[in-house]
Amino acid sequence: MAATEAPDASPTPTSDGTAQQTTLATTDIVVLVIYFLLVLAVGLWSMWKTKRSTVDGYFLAGKNMTWWPVGASLFASNVGSGHFIGLAGSGAAAGIGAVAYEWNGMLMVLVMGWLFLPIYIASRVTTMPEYLKKRFGGKRIQLFLCVLYLFIYIFTKISVDMYAGAVFIQQALQWNIYLAVVLLLGITALYTIAGGLAAVIYTDAVQTIIMVIGALILMGFSFAEVGGFEAVLDKYPQAIPSIRVPNTTCGIPRDDAFHIFRHPVTSDLPWPGVILGMSIPSMWYWCSDQVIVQRSLAAKNILHAKGGSLLAAYIKVLPFFMMVIPGMISRILYPDEVGCGDPEVCKEVCGNSVGCSDIAYAKLVMELLPAGLRGLMMAVMLAALMSSLTSIFNSSSTIFTMDLWRNIRHTASEWELMIVGRVFVLVLVVVSVLWIPLVQASQGGQLFIYIQSISMYLQPPITVIFVAGCFWKRTNEKGAFWGLMVGMAVGCTRMILDFIYPTPQCYESDTRPDIIKYVHFLYFSIILTILTLVVVVCVSLATEKPKPEQISRLTWYTRFDAVIESEEVVSSELYTIDNDIKVRENEALPAKEDSSGSVSSNAGSSKLKSALFWLCGMEKQTEKSSSSPAPPDAAMCSLEEEPCMKHVVNANLIICVSVAVFLIAYWA
């Protein structure tokens, strides 16, 4: 069965295991083994170097990261295997339009570093829901967003990256896609559970180097095969499959394939939506998503955090050349497979009757690269997958542990929090696997567009809440809550309708309701944002003002306020968990005396437990519980910047913004 699902690989004369020998040679396997050993070595080194036995050390890497691993981790966390497969697939199916998301992200990661991050650092928070709890008071917004963030991670990140990585392995090894998913998850979940954020960030830095080098090599081979960039411009419009549905647009490339700004009514990415509608969920992702902000909060100071944002922004120029253009070249070279225009042919080629554009990148790797380099590109895809999944798993467990579990169990020890965070990763993995079939069938086979369309329905209300909370002091809890509720209700309604009435294929007539047919998801993002903002403003003005402690050091205008002692105690809950441990240990002493058998049973399994605790970074838990917790370092929460380096990063900010504006304008 597995062999019949990926017939686009090199044909084999037999039905036994010879198919794999035509895809990956011994040299490729050696390269993959070297890659895994390298990542494992870096992971073990970072586990040994960092202090994982505290919540701060595990979830925020001790707040001691310099700019270059922070920037590399920002890029690696963002660019997962879903980007390689999805951006190349969108390039093959519809041209360069999807790169607008990447260049928009260049600007938004800088907005995060210069506008949002100073507020988060001043407020001394670990998670984004925790910031909203301190800014607005109460728990209902915090708890609602915890659940919503986890849903978004499953819908648009975890399952998409797993599916994309599995598609690549399916093309290379001709395995069943679910077997590939389970294999990848086994490696990634173990890797995440054992290490903390520091291990994730350091391995992300290695993965980024591998990704960029490998992708640039494949880009070079692709341009050499097609005849250069001018050949791409000339040949892409003629990349039409030989078999397609008559009298339809199936298999015919778009006329506006080389434009980012497209027709405002009839195109797949209308230009007003690209400018406004795209920026709103992009702001959520780069400025208030736990996965991204958590990396910046791990920086040793604000300058290193800004430097990390700059590095990530500069590298974001590359996906256009590394992923989108190679995807278009793949369609030129293999129009009958990558650009298939008949459902039966598509089903035969890739097992998906909707379309096969998502195999574009894997097809290039398996057809163009010699032995050894194919193994390198397998390593690139695995690097992309593992870096993004480990980041998401770590951030998801942070949100669940610090925001949900601590609200359920107020006296939870640090030990308990660590175990809960790790177990939750396993639960998240199972739920994500169950979502994969819907990802595979949706959005015309264009994986990247699926991700973005879901984002447009769920993320604008959250963006409004964060922007209002950070930059308008009058926003209160009632306004934020009801704005969030109304926005999410409307957004979820549209998302459900999209699943009930999917986009028709090129050979089908469009019978969807007008609200779906004529209101593009980018336009819907703008409408949803305005609606949420109106509710937030009206309800906030009609109700009481926020309390002074809900504003001090929690908005852009109050970020330099002096720290109030009582607020400092409340805001540093992260550092008082050890006190809870001592209380719980004192309460548990009588129970230990009553249970005579427990001591002997613990002694019998002490070696196994010691090994397990070391793997989880908790071998010194009993020693640490007797010591008082260290107070928060004022330097970690300081917004002071060294004058010379401040001018350097600000100059780079101007250069980077200019590059982004030029790229968007040139290809508009």
Joined together, the tokens standing for residue 204 give 């992300």
pLDDT digits (tens, 9 = 90+) for 573-595: 444 444 444 444 444 444 444 44
d(CA 438, CA 545) in angstroms, rounded, equals 44
- Quick one: average pLDDT of 53-70? 72
Cα–Cα distance for residue pair 220/236, rounded to 1 Å: 18
Banded pLDDT at 457 (limits 50, 70, 90): confident
Q: Which of 175-189, 434-448, 585-599 has the highest mean pLDDT?
A: 175-189
Least confident of 193-202, 254-263, 445-454, 588-597: 588-597
Mean pLDDT (whole number) for 413-420: 80
Residues 316-351 pLDDT 10s: 999 999 999 999 999 999 998 998 888 888 888 887
pLDDT at 487 over 90: yes
Looking at residue 70, what is its pLDDT? 92
> Could you give the percent of the chain with pLDDT greater than 70?
77
The reported pLDDT for the residue numbered 223 is 95
pLDDT for res 601: 43
Contact 50, 62 (CB under 8 A): yes
- C-beta contacts of 426-429 below 8 A and 24+ residues apart: 426/189, 426/193, 428/150, 428/153, 428/154, 428/158, 428/393, 428/396, 428/397, 429/158, 429/185, 429/189, 429/393
**pLDDT at res. 71:** 93
- Residue with the two structure tokens 């979502």: 435
The per-residue pLDDT for 221 is 94
Query: What stretches of 159-308 adopt beta strand conformation (E)?
Result: none
Answer yes or no: is pLDDT of 630 > 50.
no
Q: List b or e across 24-60, with b for residues whose CB sees 16 or more CB atoms inside 10 angstroms.
A: bbeebeebbeebeebbeebbeebbeebbbbbbbbbbb
pLDDT for 645: 92
pLDDT in tens, 510-528: 888 888 888 888 899 999 9
User: What average pLDDT does range 61-89 have in this prediction?
Assistant: 83
* Lowest mean pLDDT across 17-21, 503-507, 566-570: 17-21
Mean pLDDT of the chain: 79
Q: What is the reported pLDDT for 306?
A: 96
Mean pLDDT of 616-628: 45
Q: Which two tokens stand for residue 22?
A: 């035509």
Euclidean distance between CA atoms 117 and 556, whole angstroms: 10
pLDDT given at position 591: 42
The domains found in the chain, sorted by start residue, are: 3-10+20-574+644-666 (1.20.1730.10)
Average pLDDT over residues 554-572: 68
Report how far residue 291's alpha carbon sits from residue 403's, in angstroms, rounded to the nearest whole number. 15
